[in-house]
Amino acid sequence: MIIIAMIGSKEFCERTVRLLDPNSDISLVSYIYEHPKEAKSIIPTLTPCDAILFSGSLPYHVSLDELEKLQIPAVYLKQNETAIAMTLLYLSTTKQVQLEAISIDIREPIHMTHVLNDLGQTVTMPYILPIHPQDSIETITDFHRSLYRDGKTVMAVTSIHAVYERLAELQVPAMKMIDPESNILQTLEEAKQKALFVRSKSSQVAVGLIRPMSPLDSPLEEASELASLLHGHVTTSANGHSVFTTLGNIDKVVATPLFQKLFQRLSSKAHMAFGAGESTIEATQHAEQALSLSRRPDEFYVLDGSKQLRGPLPDHLDDRIDMQVQNPIMQELAEKTKLSPANISKVMQFGKFRNAKQFSANDLALYMNVTRRTAERTIKKMSECGYIRIAGEEMTYKQGRPRALYELNFPLW
């Protein structure tokens, strides 16, 4: 079974449970809040699950800080054109309410524009309030109440259950945005597929190679403790020790204080790296590749079955570099520049990090952890193929020639 934790209003959770096929391989666990901002405090209380489903964008976005601490996927029910069109259709056919007499709070106002454009005729827009995660329930409620009190509207449409309940208390005619059944079921399927993908990666065989720095060093005690911590087992050979476990166990353990203390002891005696794959042979080969990339004993890398290099760990948990060409952009870059996939991936990560800002060769060198000369060679190869262009120059604080500034000239996403 795929266990999905649902975080939302009581009405949303109950409706989603009713929609789920009794024979489904999904098990839903409800976590109900009174206010969307309570979602953040719910995250630490979750029992073990494979994925999280939020009832909307507001509870999801206020929970992002807590979600970053987890290693499970999270999705939220997106408000799209279908939801808006169904809501407007209901109001016009059942309630006979004109658009200009409606107030509506909505996450993405552009969806409303698209729906009205699709009608192919000029219509008066309703009163729209774009909502943001930091908005209070009182602010959104006041928007609707003021328009109704002034006689400008006869109906409020809200995306937030707490706002609907507050408007009901104030005797302001209101309804909740309709969430189509198809949207809920599609979001459940999205959560399931993401959970299955994470589960398949976590179950990959992983091998950790521990190589002593000298014949006098004996890290067997640390290797045995590591195997125990990773729920695996250790073997000893002529050139060191091998720890057998799964990629999922590594992901769970690496950030823990217990592992950090053990690695400090181990790094004084040996170099370490992990590899993962569909078999122990493939995992060992990947571990050898990861080991060859380590420059210092106090850091290590993990090369998984998708040829994604993680690290250097334990400090850079989220840094990943593609060690093979997968997407068309990378393939084209590799063929024309003759650079390795790892270096191309680093340049792409650098571009995302800089967010379209101009950079110098020194900036790139610091990010890639290479010499300035190496960075200049990379820039030269990419500029000759048109993937980097000169954007200007800047004066240094010392005397000498100004430094060239560059811009990336290819898609990063």
The contacts found for 210-214 with CB under 8 angstroms, 24 or more apart, are: 210/240, 210/241, 210/242, 210/243, 210/266, 210/270, 210/271, 210/272, 211/239, 211/240, 211/270, 211/271, 211/272, 211/291, 212/240, 212/269, 212/270, 213/269, 213/270, 213/271, 213/297
8 is written with which tokens? Answer: 């939302």
Taking each helix axis as running N to C, give the angle between helix 257-266 and helix 220-229, from 0 to 180 degrees, rounded to the nearest 10.
160
- How do the pLDDT tens digits run along the chain, 413 residues long? 899 999 999 999 999 999 999 899 999 999 999 888 899 999 999 998 999 999 988 899 889 889 888 878 999 998 888 888 888 888 888 888 888 899 999 888 888 888 888 776 667 788 999 988 788 889 999 999 999 999 999 999 998 888 999 999 999 999 999 989 999 999 999 999 999 888 887 888 999 999 998 887 788 899 999 999 999 999 998 889 999 999 888 888 888 889 999 999 998 889 999 999 888 888 999 999 888 887 788 889 898 887 888 888 877 666 666 665 555 666 777 778 888 777 887 788 788 776 667 888 888 888 777 888 888 999 998 888 888 888 877 765 555 667 788 888 877 65
pLDDT number for residue 97: 87
Residue 264 CB coordination number (10 Å): 12
d(CA 54, CA 187): 10
Per the listing, tokens 């571990």 go with: 287
pLDDT number for residue 52: 96
* C-alpha gyration radius of the chain: 27
Is residue 349 within 8 Å of 355, Cβ to Cβ? no
pLDDT number for residue 226: 93
